[in-house]
């Protein structure tokens, strides 16, 4: 018998080196993974869909760019499209924005995390991976303040340590784990079974 999972969604922020960490997480999440995964990764504004193609077929979950007004569903991994901020509305649908860059980036991790924290509250898990700027630190703090669960990749495990280190200093996350450990942690946390 499975225990009821209190978490409803996962948001992930990644920048330089984040692809390497994501490759240790996304392909290993099982088909029965019970919530959507939403990712803001810093990309070149003109980047094509190669990343989506790369992740699709490499695991059990469906990977796609998020669309305006799309509802979130378990079994999907949603990426913020290049050159758009991605926000989650209170009704758990997406909004896309071309507002000014935050920390010189669009999509911004902070924008995603802050909107998700407001939409999901205690039902949210926020994760910061490898990266080269401070984007995501304030958003992770908002998630923690709203009662969500906060996780940061161990800076020693990250290809670029600045983003996770800044998140640790700003948000004092609940867990600091390697990318491999993050994957195992998410599976164990959300698919707990009792006799």
Residues labelled catalytic: 15, 42, 135
**Would residue 104 be called left, alpha or beta, if left means φ above 0 and alpha means ψ between -120 and 50 degrees?**
left
Please give the Cα distance from 96 to 88 (Å, whole number): 9
Q: Are 78 and 94 in contact (CB under 8 A)?
A: yes
C-beta neighbour count of 93 within 10 angstroms: 16
- Extract long-range pairs of 66-74: CB within 8 Å, 24+ residues apart: 66/38, 66/94, 66/96, 67/94, 67/96, 68/94, 68/95, 68/96, 69/93, 69/94, 69/95, 70/94, 72/9, 72/36, 72/38, 73/36, 74/33, 74/34, 74/35, 74/36
Q: Are 164 and 131 in contact (CB under 8 A)?
A: yes
Q: Are 106 and 81 in contact (CB under 8 A)?
A: no
């Amino acid at each position: 018998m499975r225990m009821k999972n209190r978490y409803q969604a996962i948001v992930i922020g990644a920048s330089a080196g984040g692809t390497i960490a994501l490759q240790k997480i996304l392909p290993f999440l099982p088909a029965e993974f019970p919530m959507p995964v939403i990712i803001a990764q810093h990309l070149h504004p003109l980047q094509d869909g190669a990343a989506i193609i790369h992740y699709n077929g490499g695991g059990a979950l469906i990977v796609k760019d998020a669309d305006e007004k799309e509802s979130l569903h378990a079994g999907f991994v949603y990426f913020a499209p290049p050159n758009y901020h991605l926000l989650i509305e209170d009704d758990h649908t997406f909004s896309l924005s071309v507002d000014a860059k935050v920390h010189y980036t669009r999509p911004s991790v902070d924008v995603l995390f802050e909107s998700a924290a407001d939409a999901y509250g205690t039902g949210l898990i926020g994760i910061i991976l490898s990266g080269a700027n401070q984007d995501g630190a304030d958003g992770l703090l908002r998630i923690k303040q709203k009662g969500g669960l906060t996780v940061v990749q161990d800076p020693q495990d990250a290809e670029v340590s600045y983003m996770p280190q800044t998140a640790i200093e700003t948000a004092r996350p609940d867990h600091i784990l390697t990318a491999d450990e993050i994957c195992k942690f998410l599976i164990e946390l959300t698919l707990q079974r009792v006799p």
